[in-house]
Structure 1
Amino acid sequence: MKVLIVKTSSLGDIIQSLNTAKYLKNKFKDIEIHWVIEKEYFPLISTYPYIDGAIIFDMKFYKKNFLSYSAWKQFFIFLKNLRKNRYDLLFDMQGNIKSSIVNFFAISQKKIGFGYNSVREWPNIFSTNFHINIETNINMGLQYTSLIKNYFQDKNYFDSKKVLLKISDIEILKISQILEHKNLQTTFKMMICPHSIWENKKMDIKALISFLNLIKKSFDFSFLIIYGNENEKIFSDKIYENFKNSSLVIEKLNIPSWQNLMNRVDLVFSMDSAALHLC
């Protein structure tokens, strides 16, 4: 059986939806799972052990360069990759107009999506032919799993423990070298993820530094400070300046390496939920 999962963005939502692939692999022995994903999140999907293939849907590039030859060329490459397989089932976990484009062009006997009462953008229902309404007041990860479990009328408990993403031997070595840094030789290690694209999730730097000082006074902690872009690095460097002997600003990591490093520290302190979903 071949299954296509459509969940293109965003990072936190994708992380919470990954267990659907694990569920399907556990339920069916002979199953092949492909996933449609935005280009920037390809490393996440391509390293998840329960997914057999990833199809890049670079919607941001298409929209930004709508009138350019290169955008249309890339879009037709996407269509070619999408339509070279015939799927038994398609599960749309995005539920918006963007995923409707994927659903429309995909070749699948059944296209399963959210019902009118739970879909994010109602025009999406015209791109699927089997609709399931789910509870929208539960954890997002459970919502995604519920869509698939309800289709199979499965009421059994599913163990949704997190799965470590695959990384190379070189990346494993790099993580070990980070943890062996002289500034991190303390009893406990805390990863600090102080950034978010949402302003209301950010913490004032003075308050954050004050909080970390309280932690340092009470426990033997060192801090691994994460950033994602140059503006975030400036903020991270300011934190480091206050803890020069017991902190380290970590060079930008890909998502799989970030998760594996996260699983080797004692505590994660994050402004955004994406990091916490990776734990």
Structure 2
Amino acid sequence: MNVLIIKISSMGDIIHTLPAITDASNSIPNIMFDWVIEETFSAIPRWHPSVQQIIPIKLRTWKNNWYSLDSWKEYRSFIKKIVKKEYDVIIDAQGLLKTAIFVTRVAKGIKHGLDSVSATELMSCWFYDHCHFVKKNQHAIERIRNLFAICLQYSVPLSIGKYNIKNFFNYYKNQHNIVPYIIFFCVTTCSKKQWPKLYWYNIIQKALNLGYHIKIPFWTVSEELFVKKIKKHFNQVIILSRLTLQEIAIQILKSTAIISVDTGLSHLAAAFDCPNLTLYGPTDPKLVGTYGGRNQLILKSKSNDMRHLTPDFVWSTFEKNFDILK
């Protein structure tokens, strides 16, 4: 059976889809998946053994430059790729109108997606052959697991979902670190999810005082400015500059532990079952929090204000819960 997945972004949403693929692969012999995904995140599906073809898309870029002739040429090129194969099942797991119009509508095969009650944007269901109800008041991973099970006609396993991407990195996982280190994921695109910068300075100092080595990555210009200030104050901190997804995945796998704000990389850490403390403010972790594994720990600000998660409280919780650091 050949199945096309349409789930183009974001990083967390992409990672949330992986357990559903594992469920289906364990339930249906010889099933294989192609995946339409934003080019930025196209490395991630390659790590799953049941994904055979990646069809990258630049929908965000095209949307922002819809008036550009180059954008329309690239979109036409994308259509030529997606219509080359007819699929047994197409699953639109995005539930957005723009994705349904520009991707799902043009693909060849029986189209499935969420119904008007379950989808993020109810009009997206106009473009599906079959619309399915999936309860909203459950974790995003369980929602997608249920959607895939309904579309492909199998029962959702009772066990916790398995990402099944760790084996791709076996070569790197078995390499021992010369010096153990903690990764801090200090930044996220949403300002309301940010932990105060002074709090990061405080917790970095705590970690260094106790002899821990620290790595901090960055990608954007604003992130670079922040980490450069950190480096100026704490010369011992190692800055990871604009790594690829595979490179940061290796860094996560080999880390001793992680402290993170609510970002896609915290979900990647969860997929590898790395010891990870994630700090949540306005987001409800019961619906979209890090999922699975004994090493995932969430701290949620009761008032949704990240300032109420103090450095002393975060660090004491971190050391108390992760025995690997003791």
Q: Using structure 2 for the length normalisation, give the TM-score.
A: 0.75
Residue aligning to 1:76: 76
Correspondence list, 1:1-279, <5 A: 1-101=1-101, 102-108=103-109, 110-151=110-151, 152-162=153-163, 163-164=165-166, 166=168, 172=172, 180=178, 185=179, 188-217=180-209, 219-245=210-236, 247-279=237-269
Counterparts of 1:257 and 1:59 in 2: how far apart (Å)?
A: 25
Q: Which moved more, 1:3-12 or 1:150-159?
A: 150-159
Percent identity (aligned): 21
- What 5-or-longer segments of structure 2 have no aligned partner? 270-326
Please state how far the C-alpha of 1:112 moved relative to its aligned partner: 1.2
Checking the alignment, whether the CA contact within 8 Å between 1:113 and 1:128 is kept in structure 2 is yes
Secondary structure (helix, strand or coil) at the match of 2:3 reads strand
Distance 1:40 1:271 in 2: 21
Instruction: Check whether the contact 2:31–2:50 (CA below 8 A) recurs between aligned residues.
Output: no
Instruction: Tell whether the 8 Å contact from 2:188 to 2:263 is kept in structure 1 after alignment.
Output: no
| Shift in Å, 1:243 | 2.5
Task: Tell whether the 8 Å contact from 2:18 to 2:162 is kept in structure 1 after alignment.
Answer: no
- Aligned pair count reads 266
Higher relative contact order (CA 8 A, sep 6+): 1
Q: Tell me if the contact between 1:112 and 1:128 (Cα under 8 Å) persists in the aligned partners.
A: yes
How far off its partner does 1:24 sit? 2.0
On the 8 A contact 2:22/2:162 being kept in 1, the answer is no
SS in 2 for 1:210: helix
Deviation of 1:98 (Å):
1.9
Gapped runs of 5+ residues in structure 1? none
Distance 2:202 2:43 in 1: 35
Q: Summarize the Cα distance change of 1:155–1:40 in structure 2 as closer, same or farther, 3 Å threshold.
A: closer
Q: CA deviation at 1:155?
A: 4.1
Structure 1 length normalisation: TM-score? 0.87
The answer to whether the 8 A contact 2:27-2:154 is kept is no
Kindly report the root-mean-square deviation, in angstroms, between the aligned alpha carbons of the 2 structures: 2.3
CA 1:3–1:223 in structure 2 vs 1: closer, same or farther (change >3 Å)? same
